[in-house]
Chain A
Amino acid sequence: METGYLLDVNNQRIARNVINDMRCTYLGQEVFRIEPSSGLSANPYVEFFLRATQTGEIAIDWVDDRGERGQVKRTLTVV
């Protein structure tokens, strides 16, 4: 990630590139969404709670300033 405040060898600002949108989807419904800026640290280790009602899939999607997307999916088993 780039905060946007560093200069490269030619004294030009390196463009900011941080994750600006991250969503968590549970059972097909969006349950949590965070829009960070350069104010969160690199590797921010985001923690939040979720009420697990039934077995289903949790998907976390994110997109950064350059438009690159990522996704992680896990199956949550509720006994």
Chain B
Amino acid sequence: MPTPATPRRDWLRACLCASAWTAWRGAWTTGVGSAALGLSTVPLAQAQGMVSGKLLSLRDMIDPIVAGARVVPSGVHIETLILADNGLSVPFRVWVDSPMTAQDHVTDLWLLSQRNPVTVMAKMHLGPHLGRAEFSTRVRLAGGQQLVALARLSSGEFRYQVADLIVTEAGCVDGS
């Protein structure tokens, strides 16, 4: 509380520093697939009231690619922000549990967006030469949404993971 001895300016600065520090510490997370846990959680974007525009369902995003093959919601991990201040550049890291041998490896990896104008943000072709099925980039997001990382294994099976993000400023309009 501001007292005569501590001016309001110093008190405000201390509050800002404390909130910024806790926000920074809490902003990194590893995505937990709600489907994998069997929980029906309300997506963060909807909980925050940021639901402008049509949001695709998980089946809308995955079915055109999977085309009826077996889909398992495990084995894929996502590391990204919980809250992105700027949707123009959101760091995103995906890795798949796979030995990456010639007999058992990840063949393809898709990044799917729930709200972006283009649903398939990127498609990657991997192979046993990589040694590790891990990929990291920065994505552009048109608002708070769920991102899906979908991996296709050499056996024809699909694995996926969902990450829920809040985006303060949509990345659709910019000058870059």
Contact = CB atoms under 8 A, between A and B. Distances in A.
B131 A6 contact: no
A9 B35 CA distance: 46
Nearest to B88: A41
Contacts, number: 98
Interface string A1-32: 10101100000000000000000001001011
Contacts of B175: 6
B132 A40 contact: no
Interface string B49-74: 00000000000000000000000000
Given A26-B129, A29-B129, A40 B137 contact: yes
Contacts of A29: 129
Interface of B: 88-90, 111, 113, 116-118, 120-132, 134-140, 171-176
11 contacts: A31-B127, A34-B125, A35-B123, A37-B120, A37-B121, A40-B122, A41-B89, A41-B139, A49-B131, A51-B130, A51-B131
Given A5-B173, A32-B127, 14 more contacts: A1-B176, A3-B174, A6-B173, A32-B126, A33-B124, A34-B122, A34-B125, A36-B122, A37-B122, A40-B137, A42-B176, A45-B138, A51-B129, A51-B130
